[in-house]
């Protein structure tokens, strides 16, 4: 695939739920390329039940699809929990994964920051109330994609673009160390489809976010939790969290404690506490660790019931 000079600096537009605001504020400049006709939409299932979701599929379609709800309940719940009904009916899965940071310094056209080619992150020494509690990169803005949290929990290892196939969620988002980027897509590269692993039999899954107002708010912390509980024990566990780091995180210490353990109050509370393993909050973001513990504990208790 060849790329013209215009495409090399262009912004892609599908539903433009994020791009429109960036164009209005002057953060996004240059040509805009409509890609709605170039991308796949819709949901299909293979013989083993694994789902393929086109990048142009709307968030509302994911939330409302009966097949996805049955096979990947945490993914459908995440889709149904983000933004507003109006946005969910326009916003696409690919756009949600590739959206830009919500940091107020990045969104201010008069302030330089790493994501706009600046030399430092003004949030680090400034107002970072809504920023990371796991400080692992030069930029301290949390990753904005809720769907990336769910895909991480579901170990989506096949994300195809028009240039590369078989990317994992980690491949797509990077490790968060590059403060100038929100994802690892190359200039002009488009997500085409996401393929999920086959469903896990007997899975229960939930999604929950802590927000600062009742509706239509970006999450302070969000968690997607999956589990298989039989005979009072956790036989399978996957936990992923967002709003706390430059990219969504798997809560591996919590998962390791729970696997094979009794689904009792003490074990679940300890697993929730271990969700903060390796945390190093900023001066204003320590409260996010309390929110994380509370969300994980609540979801585990509900999954175990």
- pTM passes above 0.75: yes
CB 144 within 8 A of CB 99: yes
Question: Nearest 5°: phi and psi at 26?
Answer: 90, 5
Write out pLDDT tens, residues 266-301: 999 999 999 999 999 999 999 999 999 999 999 999
Query: Angle between the 265-274 and 287-304 helix axes, to the nearest 10 degrees?
Result: 140
CB 227 within 8 A of CB 237: yes
Query: Angle between the 146-153 and 73-81 helix axes, to the nearest 10 degrees?
Result: 170
| Sign of the dihedral defined by the CA atoms of residues 167, 38, 27, 209, in that order | negative
| Average pLDDT rounded to a whole number, residues 233-260 | 98
- The yes-or-no verdict on residue 1 having pLDDT over 60 is no
| Average pLDDT rounded to a whole number, residues 114-129 | 96
Q: How far is C-alpha 29 from the chain's CA centre?
A: 25
For 203, residues 6+ apart whose C-beta sits below 8 A from its C-beta are 73, 226, 227, 228, 236
| Average pLDDT rounded to a whole number, residues 30-40 | 83
Beta bridge partners of 58: 92
Taking phi over 0 as left and psi of -120 to 50 as alpha, with beta for the rest, 150 belongs to alpha
pLDDT band at 9 (very low <50, low <70, confident <90, very high): low
For 300, residues 6+ apart whose C-beta sits below 8 A from its C-beta are 225, 227, 258, 263, 268, 271, 272
* Choice between 40 and 246, residue whose per-residue pLDDT is larger: 246
3 state DSSP class of 161: strand
* Sequence spans of domains, the chain: 5-127+145-195, 204-304
Write out pLDDT tens, residues 73-111: 999 999 999 999 999 999 999 999 999 999 999 999 999
Return the pLDDT at 220. Answer: 97
The DSSP H or E segment spanning 287 is helix 287-304
What gap in Å lies between CA 253 and CA 276, rounded to an integer?
A: 9
Q: What is the CA radius of gyration of the chain?
A: 19
Task: Name which of 194, 148, 199, 200 is nearest 52 in CA terms.
Answer: 194
CB burial of residue 48 (10 Å; 0-12, 13-18, 19+): exposed
Question: Nearest 5°: phi and psi at 58?
Answer: -75, 155
| Average pLDDT rounded to a whole number, residues 246-260 | 97
The topology (CATH level 3) of 5-127+145-195 is 3.30.465
Q: How many CA atoms, within 13 angstroms, populate the side-chain half-sphere of residue 148?
A: 29
Distances (CA, A) of 21 to 15, 99, 186: 12, 12, 22
For 249, residues 6+ apart whose C-beta sits below 8 A from its C-beta are 134, 152, 240, 241, 242
Task: Tell me the three-class secondary structure of 171-211, residue by residue.
Answer: HHHCCCCCCCCCCCCCCCCCEEEEECCCCCCCCEEEEEEEC
Return the pLDDT at 16. Answer: 82
Q: Which is the CATH superfamily of the domain at 204-304?
A: CO dehydrogenase flavoprotein, C-terminal domain (3.30.390.50)
């Amino acid at each position: 695939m060849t790329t013209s000079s215009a495409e090399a600096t262009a912004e892609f537009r599908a539903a433009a739920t994020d791009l429109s605001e960036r164009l209005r504020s002057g953060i996004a400049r240059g040509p805009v390329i409509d890609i709605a006709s170039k991308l796949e939409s819709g949901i299909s299932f293979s013989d083993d039940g694994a789902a393929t979701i086109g990048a142009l599929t709307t968030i509302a379609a994911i939330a409302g699809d009966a097949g996805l709800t049955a096979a990947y309940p945490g993914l459908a719940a995440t889709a149904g929990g983000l933004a507003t009904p109006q946005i969910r009916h326009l916003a696409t899965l690919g756009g949600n994964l590739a959206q830009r940071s919500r940091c107020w310094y990045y969104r201010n056209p008069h302030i330089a920051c790493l994501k706009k080619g600046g030399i430092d992150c003004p949030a680090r020494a400034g107002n970072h109330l809504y920023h990371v509690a796991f400080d692992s990169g030069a930029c301290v803005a949390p990753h904005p994609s809720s769907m990336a949290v769910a895909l991480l929990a579901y170990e989506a290892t096949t994300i195809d673009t028009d240039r590369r196939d078989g990317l994992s969620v980690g491949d797509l988002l990077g490790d968060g160390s590059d403060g100038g980027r929100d994802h690892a897509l190359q200039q002009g590269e488009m997500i085409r489809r996401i393929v999920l692993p086959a469903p896990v039999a007997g899975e229960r899954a939930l999604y929950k976010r802590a927000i600062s107002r009742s509706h239509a708010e970006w999450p302070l912390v969000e968690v997607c939790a999956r589990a298989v509980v039989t005979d009072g024990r956790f036989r399978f566990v996957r936990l992923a969290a967002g709003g706390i780091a430059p990219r969504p995180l798997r809560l591996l210490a919590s998962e390791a404690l729970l696997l094979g353990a009794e689904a009792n109050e003490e074990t679940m509370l300890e697993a929730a506490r271990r969700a903060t393993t390796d945390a190093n909050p900023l001066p204003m973001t320590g409260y996010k660790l309390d929110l994380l513990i509370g969300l994980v504990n609540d979801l585990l208790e509900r999954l175990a019931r």
